[in-house]
Structure 1
């Protein structure tokens, strides 16, 4: 006899998701294995998600919605599930990102989380902490779905040139990450400028920060420390950081020249090259 874990759908978004998945599967008269076969996942994974032992992904949710005719229920729930898995201090920030109409970011040392590839994000998150790394990476990547909304935010990123050279995850990971940045070259809603070394002393020397602007609410400035985030709507801070951002954009390369620099670094530093003692690095 199968022993079915009883979930309290009110315990967490993950429990609610599992409860709804099981309810719709059973209503369709399918076993976990049968549903897994239909959506090309294992029945074991279906069971783990139903019992809140594994995080669902957006792709899994879309396939189940299509297979069970749920009207997109699980695809809507998965965003809530992913957000609930973020560190408590970051959940408010993820909500701000999801609601913002405009996001302005200055990054001093690495690509912004909303632009990271899976391998790059995994390397960043896995530094000193490998616990549940696949799930934590999936949660970070799920935040990028704000760009798939009917009205996605305008995202403007100024990236210090050092971030192109800080080798996170090895040559292939960096090549893929820089290629990802270049993939937005013709997207008017996602704009990337590089602040070159030649800019010298600049308005971002105090560190990375984000500005979140909304249709009706006050602008928020977000800065981050070790294991903590600091959003604020303080008018003086917002004015100061807005001015700093204007100066950073003015000192940065144009969109076209920024793409040219990213492409050059990708090809010259991380492109296929022959190591004297190893096989070619692809």
Structure 2
């Protein structure tokens, strides 16, 4: 509706502000709040970035290359964050780590400002999208439902009675009811639903969404337990863990760039199958690994 330029700048500013709040936080509550607001900013930043790429490059080989480069930067950024944290933990205080992301946010905002020519591209008067409206009710209901559900699942492990706790039951019930309300709004009430029923009509999409859910679940668990394995089982130092994650950055960057060059020539199903097979094998290596084995 409003274009990716202003949304990108707004969310980058949000991340910048709350990263600085995180750096000066004096209580765990402020840290949790800062992390939550950073997540809000990142969640809105991603579609804004894709919008900028989509409006700059028409469908075809150039857009594939741009998306490939965008994807290749992700593992490099991940490694840069790990490397910075390892250096900061070793030679400085943990608060210093958050100064670097704040500076990177400013740099990204400046680069987007310089490289974006059509800054007001969004809803056009008289165009096919002139009647678009923001589905605020659906957005609030979906956000509340997802937040309450995830909170219930995360809090259950810290409650004395676990899954049988009334705290868990109430949070989960609120989450489920909010998601049901969101479905009702999207199907029957919203003039411009965020998730219209036609969006789920292609038979391949539900399977893809389920695969994406499992992928990010596996990815999060893998990152947590791999770092835990390195620190507690192998007793690696922070700088050693930084070096051990180098293949992650190199492999991700190379595969993203190679994929961008051949996306137009090969079915995307092959790349999805390759990625899925890799994520099946990666956790299995930790099952058979011995803490006494060399890196």
If the length of structure 2 is used for normalisation, what is the TM-score? Answer: 0.25
> Higher strand proportion, which one?
1
Higher relative contact order (CA 8 A, sep 6+): 2
Compare the two structures and name the one with the higher helix fraction.
2
